[in-house]
Amino acid sequence: MKNGSLNILIGGPAGSGIEKSGQVLALSFVRAGYFVFSNMEHSSQIRGGNNFLRLRIDENAHEVHTEETDAIIAFDKQTIDEHIHEVVEGGVIIFDGESVEIGNGVDSRFRGNDNNGVVKMIDVPLKKMASEDFGNPLVANMISLGVLFGLTEFEMSVIRGVLEKIWGKKGAEIITMNLKALDAGKKIADEKWTKGFVVKMPNRVDSRLRGNDTKSGNDSRMFLCGNDALCIGAIKAGCKFVGEYPMTPSSSVLHFMAGWAEKYGIVVKHVEDEIAAVHSVIGAGFAGVRAIAATSGGGFALMSEGIGLAGMNEVPIVVVDVMRPGPATGLPTRTGQGDLQFMIHAGQDDPIKIVLLASSPEECFEMGFEAFNLSEKYQLPVIIGYDKYLGEGYYTVPAFKKESLKIDRGKLLSASELEKISDYKRYLRTDDGVSPRAIPGQKNGIHRATSDEHTEYGEICEDAENRKAMVDKRMKKMEMALKELPGPELIGDADADITFVTWNSSVGACLEAAEILREKKKNINVLKIRTAWPFHKKETKEILKKVKRPILVEQNYNGQMGALIAEQTGIIIQEKILKYDGRPFTAKEIIENLK
């Protein structure tokens, strides 16, 4: 435990306001200059069960949670039973003894009898205070947060702005009541507990520069999830059509885009199924509009034939697969990396598509932007794949870098360019495989985009020679695209003794594991794979040939990235740390698995 670093777990049944409480805590600490990483583990039910949210608050940024917890806010017994062993010495558990029953056995259950009393049980009559003092049982959560703010001697003035942001629309009364509830909690902490809790969280933002909003501060940072970051990239890229069917953990893309639809003039259509989603996106892409469909594995399965269609008809589209464990319904609200091979091979025959793998919110943003350029430059579907942990995990990041971003619509023809073409061929064979593209409404560019094999004009054609030439043409585009796709990235000392080979959010856990082990004089680097298809054979092989001891780290049973690397480079990575229980890696877990 140390000042400026606080790990919190809030747990309780679904519907007990865990997410809102987490949001208040997270935004308060972000605005006070901290980096917050937050992830929610929840079950696929709307009420009941046991959900919990972790907040890792630190002076430095983290992209992975840790199970070592300083403070728990427990709204049910299960939270205490299941997580008390994670609380570090000197940590606290805030709970309401009147509604959360804890037997006398708590201390003894905690690491055995010899640890008696190392965790402080802060029993606060939250419900009673909420209804008796505030006449509103809903503020119980705020009282518990107040206790925590009090323990850490957090500067309460920061919080008003946060509440205004979250509840602004509901009016000043609600905000005042919640502030009072926070104060009531803080008072309890101040009176009884503050001295006993060693972690203090002073304001890290220069108060002279800080108003109620961070904009005027010197440190404006966003607190957002991977899906949010992707959406910002897509909006920036000029995406104007979203065709989607809700599926956890991708639905927030649909909700986000719908929320901004009016402001940015985006047509957001919740359609009848994922088949309609991908085809409506294809229709929009064909008509010259940048379009996206996000889904998870099951919906992606329904999109498979459509993704092949976009490849065949050379239509630019962007599809996002936010992965959860499968097959079938699998674990709807949990995380996994099991769709790698599926994303590559969804659709018949050899894949005509680009598959990008994001491993951080920054990459979600960049890929969310660049995918549209790539899809229009090479006139094919671009898939972005990442796991639920990244998609729904919350990160603290500065405003994204946008200076170098440029819209590139590839060989999309202007009216005047089209006018000069006398015999327009939509699928003209060119050196780079990419044909000049006309869109409906343009004169002189009339054509049919055809899912049967076709001539350069787009006419159905079964001729063997034509078939071969058109396959070669489409594959040429893949070859050209590969040159500008993000290649394998070796992070850390090139001379390291061990190399974690990994992708998606597992990168964050690997990087932290490497950092922890560095202190123990172990030299470890991380090979991050950013493009799954087409594959950087040469570059990956060159790196892996030099690596001393590669270890594959990913979240599926077969080690799909390892299989892809073996298939593409001939190099078989023997050592594997694989996880497929639906729960994300921690650095500690990776270290424990390292022999």
Partner 1 sequence: MTNLKDLETRDKSNWCPGCGNFGIQTAIKQAIVNLSLDPANVVISTGIGCGSKINQWIETYGFAGLHGRSLPVAMGVKLANHNLTVIDVGGDGDGYGIGMGHFIHNMRRNFDMTYLVENNQVYGLTLGQTSPTSDKGMKGPSTPFGIIEDPINPIRLALSSDCTFVARGFAGDIPHLTGLIEQGISHKGFALIDIFQPCVTFNKINTYAYFRQKVYKLEEAGHDATNLGEAFARAGESEKLPIGIFYKVEKPTYESSDVGLKDGVPRAQVDISEIDVSEVEESFM
- Footprint on residues 390-429 left by partner 1 (CB under 8 A): 399-400, 402, 407
Q: Shortest CA distance to 524 belongs to which of 487, 558, 553? A: 553
Q: Which is nearer to partner 1, 167 or 457 (CB)?
A: 457
Binding to partner 1 (CB under 8 A): which residues in 228-247? 228, 231-232, 235-238, 240-241, 243
Provide, rounded to whole angstroms, the least separation between the CB of residue 203 and partner 1. Answer: 16
DSSP 151: H
Provide, rounded to whole angstroms, the least separation between the CB of residue 449 and partner 1. Answer: 5
Choose the binding region for partner 1 from 102-110, 182-190, 218-226, 533-541 (rule: CB under 8 A). 218-226
Provide, rounded to whole angstroms, the least separation between the CB of residue 163 and partner 1. Answer: 15
Binding to partner 1 (CB under 8 A): which residues in 308-327? 309, 313
For residue 548, count other CB atoms closer than 10 A to its CB.
Answer: 11
Among 5, 66, 194, 220, binds partner 1 (CB under 8 A): 220
User: Is residue 307 close enough to count as binding partner 1 by CB under 8 A?
Assistant: no
Q: Which is nearer to partner 1, 266 or 490 (CB)?
A: 266
- Under a CB-based contact definition with an 8 Å cutoff, are residues 509 and 39 in contact? no
Among 118, 222, 302, 471, binds partner 1 (CB under 8 A): 222
For residue 134, give every residue at least 6 positions away whose Cβ sits within 8 Å of its Cβ, in sequence order, or none. 177, 180, 181
x/- letters, 426..455, toward partner 1 (CB under 8 A): -------------xxxxxxxxxxxxxx---
Q: Which is nearer to partner 1, 231 or 357 (CB)?
A: 231
- ω before 398 within 30° of 0 (cis)? no
User: Is residue 209 close enough to count as binding partner 1 by CB under 8 A?
Assistant: no
Provide, rounded to whole angstroms, the least separation between the CB of residue 29 and partner 1. Answer: 13
User: Is residue 349 close enough to count as binding partner 1 by CB under 8 A?
Assistant: no
Provide, rounded to whole angstroms, the least separation between the CB of residue 360 and partner 1. Answer: 15
The tokens for 569 are 């480079």
Q: CA of 468: how far to CAs of 41, 429, 463, 464, 471, in Å? A: 50, 12, 9, 6, 5
x/- letters, 271..290, toward partner 1 (CB under 8 A): xxx-xxx-xxxxxxxxxxxx
The tokens for 454 are 């076709």
User: Is residue 179 close enough to count as binding partner 1 by CB under 8 A?
Assistant: no
- DSSP letters spanning 328-384: TT--TTS---TTHHHHHH-SSSS--SEEEE--SHHHHHHHHHHHHHHHHHHTSEEEE
SS3 of 58, please?
strand
With CB under 8 A, what is the number of residues at the site for partner 1?
74
CB-neighbour burial class of residue 476 (10 A; exposed 0-12, middle 13-18, buried 19+): middle
Provide, rounded to whole angstroms, the least separation between the CB of residue 395 and partner 1. Answer: 10
Binding to partner 1 (CB under 8 A): which residues in 459-478? 459-460
SS3 of 492, please?
coil
Q: Shortest CA distance to 365 belongs to which of 551, 199, 239? A: 239
